[in-house]
Structure 1
Amino acid sequence: MDHTGKADAPPIARIQENLVARLERRVLNRLCQVMPRGVTPDMLTFTGMFGAVLVFAGYLASNLDANWLWLSIGGYFVHWFGDSLDGSLARFRKIERPRYGYFLDHSCDGFATMLVVVGIGLSSYVELEVALIALAGYLLMSIHAFLSVRVLGELRLSYLNGGPTELRLILIALTLAMYFMGRETPIVGDLNVFDLFVGGAGLGLIALFAAQTATTARRLAKEEPPRN
């Protein structure tokens, strides 16, 4: 019970089964141990946001010179550092603020994702319309994760053994391909190989959202059968 006499909310189960989870956890634990006391989780959250701004700026500036893509790659590392470490540091120091942290972290995640994907679409490598399909797929999966917290008490941080860190690694690889391959010629209509990759990933996320929605609905239907 809290001081108001209301029952405390049950803890949210964090489900994280991505490929690099164990290695990443060891790295984050070590960083938490050496982090200066003056560094706070909020500072790390906004560091992650700054990383997303760098990613956006790099893609936008790549229209002038491909070397700006290195700024985007650096931005991904800054974003990982802040976004992955803020909650880890709060839990390590036992200073969690569950509602505040959940709200701020996921609000920043949504804005950061918008910056990254729109930045890709504003570059000369991927059509904006294609990038927006990928953004729609990612946001649908985010909606599913947030709904699962409410109806299942589970915060799923990975799907099909992939999570935010794997996604950043894929985007870094995509950005390196942009740099070394240059602007590709269209191979299907007006779409080049980068368009097909980004658009295919977006459609895959939309399909995964539909599949996860059906799976969760069946689970809930069993747990809450129709009333006569």
Structure 2
Amino acid sequence: MTERLHPTAGKLNRIQQNVLADSERRLLISMCAKMPAWVTPDRLTSFGLAGAALVGAGYALSNFGPAWLLLTFVGYAMQWFGDSMDGSLARFRKIERPSYGYFIDHSCDALTILFILGGMGASPYVTMDVALFALVGYLMLSIHAYLSARVLGELKLSYLAAGPTELRFLLLGLTAMMMILGAGPGMFGAISGFDIFVGAVAAILVILFVLQTLSSGRRLARLGG
């Protein structure tokens, strides 16, 4: 969810306009200064990925009781720390490996969202087809971001004033509501309110992909690229 540098980092314009971006950046810089030498970007990446796996496990295990959802809160904290700190620490220590970091980080992002939404789909709260629709929407928007980095030299990290951290807070709130409201059919019968919410978010992601693709396509046409 949070990137390391692109191979052409010197030319890449990182567009990050989410609400918490500035506050989070200051926090990460202060944390980097306190990290011991044995904490490396690769270890942070692994830690974040382990957190994502824990989130997925918490959702899946909630079939045995809602208390298992508490694992997801721990997992989200681990995932934020590892995913947000790996690139920040590399830049802070001036030990960037742009091509390696970019490749590994975004590959782990794909696994992260698979763990989270796969686990959510395996839970009693969200059906698997809705969770997979959300996975498709997220990956489509990710593909657009990676393509834009290649053809426009821009890596867009936020949409509608929301970025990875805001998305985590949204998922934490959704999980809290799962614990409060419980599983089972809602006012729409077999379709629960959680399905509707996740499906709506997925639809927004797909719409954003279409709009951003049209916008970038028109821009490239004007540039003659």
TM-score by length of 2: 0.94
- Alignment of 1:24 onto 2:11: no
Whether the 8 Å CA contact 1:133–1:199 is kept in 2: the answer is yes
**Which amino acid in 2 is paired with 1:15?**
I
Q: Does 1:65 align with 2:71?
A: no
Is the Cα contact below 8 Å between 1:59 and 1:120 reproduced in 2? yes
Q: 2:223 is aligned with what amino acid?
A: E
Q: CA deviation at 1:187?
A: 2.7
- Give the count of matched residue pairs: 218
Shift of 1:185: 2.1
| Stretches of structure 1 lacking an aligned partner (at least 5 in a row) | 1-7
Could you say which residue in structure 2 is the equivalent of 1:209? 209
Aligned to 1:116: 116
CA distance in 1, matches of 2:148, 2:184: 40
Distance 1:144 1:181 in 2: 36
Distance 2:93 2:153 in 1: 24
Q: For the pair shown, which has the larger CA radius of gyration, 1 or 2?
A: 1
Q: Please give the alpha-carbon distance, in whole angstroms, between the structure 2 residues aligned to 1:205 and 1:187.
A: 25
Distance 2:166 2:111 in 1: 19
CA distance in 2, matches of 1:187, 1:106: 39
Shift of 1:188: 2.8
CA deviation profile, 1:116-154 (whole Å, cap 9, x unmatched): 001100000000001111000000000000000110011
- The 2-side partners of 1:77 and 1:85 are apart by 12
Two-structure CA RMSD over aligned residues (Å): 1.2
2:9, 2:98 within 8 Å by CA — same for their partners in 1? no
Q: Identify unmatched segments of 5+ residues in structure 2.
A: 1-7
Letter of the 1:108 counterpart: C
Identity of aligned residues (%): 53
- Residues 1:222 and 2:222 are matched in the alignment: yes
The 5 Å alignment of 1:130-209 reads 130-209=130-209
**Structure-2 residue corresponding to 1:93:** 93
Q: Structure 1 residues 9 and 138, CA, compared in 2 at 3 Å: closer, same or farther? A: closer
Aligned equivalent of 1:48: 48
Deviation, 1:203, is 0.8
Q: Which residue of structure 2 lines up, in the alignment, with residue 39 of structure 1?
A: 39
The amino acid that maps onto 2:36 is P
- Report the alpha carbon displacement of residue 190 of structure 1 after superposing the two structures with TM: 2.1
Residues of 2 paired with 1:186 and 1:99: CA distance? 47
CA contact (8 A) 1:184 1:193 kept: no
